[in-house]
Structure 1
Amino acid sequence: MAEFDFSQALGEAHAKYETIEKALDVDRLKSEIAQLEEEASDPNLWDNVENAQKITSKLSGKQGLIKKLASLSDRFDDLETLYELGQEEDDSNSMSEALSGVDALQKDLDEMEIQTLLDGEYDERSAVVTIRSGAGGVDAADFAQMLLRMYVRWSERNGFKVKVMDTSYAEEAGIKSVTFEVDAPYAYGRLSVEGGTHRLVRISPFDNQGRRQTSFAAVEVVPLVEATDHIDIPDSEIRVDTYCSSGPGGQGVNTTYSAVRITHLPTNIVVTMQDERSQIQNRAAAMAVLQSRLLVLRHEEEAKKKKELAGDIKASWGDQMRSYVLHPYQMVKDLRTGYETSQTQAVFDGDINGFIDAGIRWRHEQRREAAAEQAEDKG
């Protein structure tokens, strides 16, 4: 490769770095870090464990961004020096290492760029995910469990904490529904692009004639509510039912009425919770999830009003957003972005960052185009 090519590649990488640095607003980040450090130094911080964990998690996440930016900046000088030395000493190994380094730097910058696209109102929050089996009988219930495993594995790969909050098991195999929390900064921003209907095509392991079966599962992602959200739910608007918790196949695992089902009467939203040991804990957890869903509903209604005022800017996302085909060929394809892979087992083992990143870029482009069209309409 000629020197011009190396310089051009490094220049393009540096231009992307500057765009990322500007988008992240380093001065604002440092100011937020200083504020969080002040809150974290409060001697009474851990009197409220939940709040303390949120503060320290946010602080760690923002400090990590600053450190990553500094590390990327240092790599530019190191690569340029390495390549120049290789030229001076006619050392092809050093020049080859520098070229490989630029390629690796570009990939890290692409990954960092995703962070700048997570600028939605709730993107920075942890996520509450619900998976429900749809059409397809026992295959759909099994598929729902496969998706649960996929997201848990993805969370583990990224060092995110997962807490299963409620599980409703199917009679024969799999699960009817499951709700779990992914506790990490920007978990909602990343996982929100996973919301929609997922479709599985395979030879059914539950069909003794070995026929191909298509089954569906729905994924819902909402941000975890915070104390500042002010979602007031009057007692008159909810119905609370209690029952005994149960495990797979309906086996009784709790002889007390600790499980809680809350129905929000105006919207008919139903939340069940049975993970905690006491009824009080399950009720608190169920109310938090209900508030999260109402928060998203309020946000959607506000967006709908804006859309009506601006006209029909963009069609909404189709329900069916991804297909997992295991027969007659191996393919997982996102129907919105076109991103696909034939490594189906890797996907079910949690290797879905490619899909998530493509979804985030797609969503950002949709928002950009919608804003541009809205501006034209106003003009």
Structure 2
Amino acid sequence: MAEYDYAQAIGEARAKYDSIAKAVDVDRLKADIKDLETQAAAPGLWDDPEHAQQVTSRLSAAESQLKRLDSAAQRIDDVETLVELGREEEDEDSLTEAREEIAAITANLAQMEIQTLLDGEYDERSAVVTVRAGAGGVDAADFAQMLLRMYLRYCERHGYKAKVMDTSYAEEAGIKSATFQVDAPYAYGRLSVEGGTHRLVRISPFDNQGRRQTSFAAVEVVPLVEATDHIDVPETEIRVDTYCASGPGGQGVNTTYSAVRITHIPTGIVVTMQDERSQIQNRAAAMAVLQSRLLVLRHEEEAKKKKELAGDIKASWGDQMRSYVLHPYQMVKDLRTGYETSQTQAVFDGDLDGFIDAGIRWRHEQKRQAAEEE
């Protein structure tokens, strides 16, 4: 077995750190923090709570990123010193500790590198996620609810603020669809790789003969619109319907017509919202989601035009992007990246970091290859 090369491992860690620091642009990051601190200290900041929350959230994220960079640089220096002392004193315990620390530093740098790959136009934004049951009847509705829980648990594990905005319950079990908003820096950049068709294979708990069932659910992820996006939706292009909000099994949540359904006539996009008690609040929330979807639609149309000019680009996003197999074996596998795990319960409990990180790297590689082919 080859002897562990401490100098090489530390050199690789330092090179990786330098690459990340260059991509982040530390000087620009410090300037951004200074500017955000000025905005946060401005009198009357909280006169506009939504803007104030955006400023403080961005400031916190930028400060956290700078702290992680400084900490990583210090840890590399410290472990290099530890190796030198361990060798001078022939202390095997110190060298073992240094080797473990190098492994931890390498893993931390890999996570930091992922952040540098989130450079899309809307990656920094909050996300609006919709989960819909597909083919598979009651199993599909149950699967959609499993995915909803999975994403909410993922948000909980990371301390992301997630709010369910609308849920349409299925008659027997599960949900027809659900929409939730995730407020966190780079929420869209991370969760956007989850968009697509998800497939579940299992012994159906709803089949009294215990047969294996395949069901599908669709996940849609859009960035939350901002005031600067200029997505104008004329009143003549929408139809607004109001109705009583409902809960599981058709149970009435209230007796007022507070729930809102907005249909965008030119595209056929339908958005429903019933989380808020007020019809006005639900309409505002529904319009925000509609604008988010129209923003993505506009972006996709622009990308399609570029694609037509550039010709066919291989390895585009497919409809079926991940399979969850619970029978006859346990496996969750992403069909784009090849990333897989047999820890199916952990995945359904929100352990998605491996899949999301692999998806971000995969997407970045597709963009790089597409740019080379243009």
Please state which band the TM-score falls in when normalised by the shorter chain: over 0.9
CA distance in structure 2 between the partners assigned to 1:14 and 1:2 by the alignment? 22
**Counterparts of residues 49-68 of structure 1 (less than 5 Å):** 49-68=49-68
- Post-superposition CA distance 1:73-103 (Å, at most 9, x none): 0001110111111111111000000011101
- How much has 1:312 moved relative to structure 2? 1.4
CA distance in structure 1 between the partners assigned to 2:18 and 2:3 by the alignment? 22
- The corresponding residue for 2:323 is 323
**Counterparts of residues 110-189 of structure 1 (less than 5 Å):** 110-189=110-189
CA distance in structure 2 between the partners assigned to 1:310 and 1:145 by the alignment? 40
Specify the SS of the correspondent of 1:173: coil
Greater displacement, 71-80 / 29-38:
29-38
**4+ long deviations beyond 3 Å:** 1-4
CA distance in structure 2 between the partners assigned to 1:133 and 1:198 by the alignment? 10
Specify the SS of the correspondent of 1:70: helix
Greater displacement, 79-88 / 252-261:
79-88
Specify the SS of the correspondent of 1:106: helix
Greater displacement, 21-30 / 324-333:
21-30
Equivalent position amino acid for 2:120 in 1:
G
Q: Does 1:97 align with 2:97?
A: yes
- Post-superposition CA distance 1:33-77 (Å, at most 9, x none): 111111111110101111111110011001110000000000011
**Alignment length, in residue pairs?**
374
**Counterparts of residues 346-365 of structure 1 (less than 5 Å):** 346-365=346-365
- The corresponding residue for 2:82 is 82
**Counterparts of residues 283-294 of structure 1 (less than 5 Å):** 283-294=283-294
CA distance in structure 1 between the partners assigned to 2:132 and 2:4 by the alignment? 54
**Counterparts of residues 1-379 of structure 1 (less than 5 Å):** 5-374=5-374
CA distance in structure 1 between the partners assigned to 2:91 and 2:37 by the alignment? 47
Question: Contact conserved, 2:315 with 2:366, CA < 8 A, in 1?
Answer: no
Gaps of 5+ in 1: 375-379
Equivalent position amino acid for 1:66 in 2:
L
CA distance in structure 2 between the partners assigned to 1:198 and 1:7 by the alignment? 44
CA distance in structure 2 between the partners assigned to 1:304 and 1:135 by the alignment? 28
CA distance in structure 2 between the partners assigned to 1:2 and 1:355 by the alignment? 32
- How much has 1:315 moved relative to structure 2? 4.8
CA distance in structure 1 between the partners assigned to 2:294 and 2:239 by the alignment? 16
CA distance in structure 2 between the partners assigned to 1:275 and 1:325 by the alignment? 33
- Post-superposition CA distance 1:258-292 (Å, at most 9, x none): 00000000100000000001000000000000000
Specify the SS of the correspondent of 1:225: coil
Question: Contact conserved, 2:126 with 2:184, CA < 8 A, in 1?
Answer: yes
CA distance in structure 1 between the partners assigned to 2:304 and 2:24 by the alignment? 29
Gaps of 5+ in 2: none
- How much has 1:316 moved relative to structure 2? 2.7
Equivalent position amino acid for 1:5 in 2:
D
Specify the SS of the correspondent of 2:165: strand
TM-score (norm 1): 0.97
Greater displacement, 128-137 / 81-90:
81-90
Equivalent position amino acid for 2:313 in 1:
I
- How much has 1:137 moved relative to structure 2? 0.5
Equivalent position amino acid for 1:149 in 2:
R
TM-score (norm 2): 0.99
CA distance in structure 1 between the partners assigned to 2:28 and 2:311 by the alignment? 35
- Post-superposition CA distance 1:3-45 (Å, at most 9, x none): 8710000000110100000011111111111111111111101
CA distance in structure 2 between the partners assigned to 1:182 and 1:68 by the alignment? 23
CA distance in structure 2 between the partners assigned to 1:4 and 1:352 by the alignment? 32
Q: Percent identity?
A: 79
Greater displacement, 34-43 / 12-21:
34-43
CA distance in structure 1 between the partners assigned to 2:329 and 2:2 by the alignment? 42
